[in-house]
């Protein structure tokens, strides 16, 4: 007898899994001093030392600014440059050094290039840092303004530093620079507030809530609008992601601009953004492979453009798994013989307790290597950056050793619950085949 359609019970729709609730960034508890005051955006003594350093440099000293290549680093440099000019330093005494593709300030070629400017004062902004020789060999004074993770001695020899890395919620380098400079001249606020907003959105995203301890930027966004600021961020970030790594174009446009709108019609920046968007689209559809313990999702791409951080951030917002902790995107085409990789914490893991620390995860994996020399061979550019956003630049052979430790493609121990339930279910004994089989032998 046929059953009527109405008599067949409809299966209940499968409920969607709720997205993980991610705490608002500004609500991260601050560290407090003995008086109960929040130590933010950096220790007060470091901030005061940085202010004195800037004032000293403004007294007709030959000055070199060395900003990082992204929106946060470049806006930090622009804020500092504008402040020095406001304080009376002649523009002709200010130079900028922009690093070459895949390089860092500790390499000899970069130290030589910085020394060629014959600076008396050097400002290193948002570059990340490590224990190293002096910024240059000739006599100079150096200040590091940063927010990347670093221990107390992770700075060039003889330099002074101000860092936000131990003062949660960790401020960006641009916000820290703006906070330092704002107290030095009354016009810093009106000429640099939009740069602070750009750099901060560049690192922390455009959904950041500007609530305490972050400064009140309502007037800034009323003047320039968040859309203009965010569009300017994407344009300034684009040149350094292109295969030609045209950071000088971004720096020139930013330092010449008086507002975000000055950047929005820049043909060079618009062309760079179009090139990067096309490359991201080409590479973003690579399929992930998972580590044996399912904690790491690995994407492998090949591109001369720096699109691996963008793809890592994009996938971190989509991938979901109870075990997943890190999204890793490896780019084998960015530098010859090297693998550049970026890691991000997926949204589903951002509220974990204890919190995921990517630097700790990466170093922990390297420590499990059968060859104890692997960590050293991975080099100083491995597991740098932030606890929430790290990565590295490592030799290709060593990267493959690192991948071997992850056991990519190996299924986690134990079958899936669904498969286990299926195998555990009792088999039905009165099937049609059994029935007809019995009739045939009756």
Q: Using 50, 70 and 90 to split pLDDT, how confident is the model at 411?
A: confident
pLDDT of 205 > 80? The answer is yes
Q: Dump strand ranges (E) for 131-239.
A: 141-146, 160-163
Instruction: Give the tens place of pLDDT for each residue, 35-93.
Output: 999 999 999 999 999 999 999 999 999 999 999 999 999 999 999 999 999 999 999 99
Extract the tokens encoding 183.
Answer: 């107290």
Nearest to 74 by CA among 239, 226, 255: 255
3-state secondary structure of 98: coil
The model carries a pTM of: 0.86
Instruction: Give the tens place of pLDDT for each residue, 350-398.
Output: 999 999 999 999 999 999 999 999 999 999 999 999 999 999 999 999 9
pLDDT of 440 > 90? The answer is no
Rounded to whole angstroms, how far apart are CA atoms 172 and 163?
Answer: 10
Residues 6 or more apart whose CB falls under 8 angstroms from that of 254 comprise 74, 75, 78, 195, 236, 263
Give the burial class of 328: count Cβ atoms within 10 A of its Cβ; 0-12 exposed, 13-18 middle, 19 or more buried: buried
Rounded to whole angstroms, how far apart are CA atoms 57 and 120?
Answer: 8
pLDDT at 20: 64
pLDDT at 425: 46
Partners of 392 in the β-ladder: 341, 382
Instruction: Give the tens place of pLDDT for each residue, 157-201.
Output: 999 999 999 999 999 999 999 999 999 999 999 999 999 999 999
pLDDT at 21: 72
Q: Using 50, 70 and 90 to split pLDDT, how confident is the model at 16?
A: low
pLDDT at 430: 46
CA-to-CA dists, residue 370 to 275, 328, 374, 393, angstroms: 42, 22, 8, 21
pLDDT at 22: 75
Partners of 80 in the β-ladder: none
Does residue 442 or residue 223 have the better pLDDT? 223
pLDDT of 13 > 80? The answer is no
Rounded to whole angstroms, how far apart are CA atoms 309 and 283?
Answer: 12
Rounded to whole angstroms, how far apart are CA atoms 71 and 59?
Answer: 28
pLDDT at 12: 56
pLDDT at 410: 83
pLDDT at 23: 82
Query: Once rounded to an integer, what is the mean pLDDT over residues 28-40?
Result: 95
């Amino acid at each position: 007898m046929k059953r009527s359609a109405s008599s067949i019970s409809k299966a209940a729709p499968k409920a969607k899994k709720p997205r993980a609730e991610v705490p608002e960034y500004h609500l991260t508890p601050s560290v407090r001093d003995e008086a109960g005051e929040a130590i933010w955006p950096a220790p007060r003594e470091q901030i005061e030392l940085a202010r004195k350093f800037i004032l000293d440099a403004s007294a007709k000293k030959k000055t070199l600014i060395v900003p990082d290549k992204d929106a946060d680093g470049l806006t930090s440099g622009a804020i500092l440059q504008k402040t020095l000019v406001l304080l009376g330093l002649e523009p002709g005494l200010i130079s900028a050094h922009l690093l070459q593709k895949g390089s860092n300030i500790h390499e000899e070629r970069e130290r030589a290039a910085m020394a060629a400017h014959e600076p008396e004062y050097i400002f290193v902004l948002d570059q990340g840092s490590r224990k190293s020789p002096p910024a240059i060999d000739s006599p100079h004074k150096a200040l590091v303004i940063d927010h990347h993770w670093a221990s107390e001695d992770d700075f060039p020899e003889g330099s002074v530093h101000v860092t936000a890395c131990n003062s949660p919620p960790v401020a960006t380098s641009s916000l820290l620079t703006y906070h330092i400079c704002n107290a030095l001249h009354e016009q810093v606020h009106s000429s640099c507030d939009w740069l602070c907003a750009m750099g901060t959105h560049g690192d922390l995203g455009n959904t950041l809530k500007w609530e305490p301890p972050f400064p009140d930027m309502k007037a800034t966004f009323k003047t320039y609008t968040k859309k203009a600021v965010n569009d300017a961020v994407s344009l300034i970030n684009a040149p350094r992601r292109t295969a030609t790594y045209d950071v000088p174009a971004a720096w020139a446009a930013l330092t010449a601009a008086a507002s975000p709108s000055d950047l929005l019609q820049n043909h060079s920046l618009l062309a760079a953004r179009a090139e990067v968007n096309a490359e991201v689209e080409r590479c973003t559809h690579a399929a992930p492979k998972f580590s044996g313990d399912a904690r790491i999702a690995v994407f492998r791409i090949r591109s001369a453009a720096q699109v691996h951080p963008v793809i890592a951030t994009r996938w971190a917002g989509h991938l979901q798994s109870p075990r997943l902790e890190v999204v890793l995107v490896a780019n084998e085409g960015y530098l010859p013989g090297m693998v550049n990789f970026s890691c991000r914490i997926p949204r589903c893991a951002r509220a974990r307790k204890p919190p995921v620390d990517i630097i700790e995860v990466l170093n922990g994996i390297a420590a499990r290597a059968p060859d104890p020399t692997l960590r050293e061979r991975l080099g100083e550019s491995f597991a740098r950056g932030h606890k929430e956003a790290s990565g590295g630049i490592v030799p290709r052979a060593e990267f493959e050793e690192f991948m071997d430790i992850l056991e990519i493609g190996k299924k986690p121990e134990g079958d899936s619950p669904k498969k286990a339930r299926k195998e555990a279910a009792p088999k039905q004994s009165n099937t049609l085949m059994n029935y007809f089989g019995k009739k045939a032998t009756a």
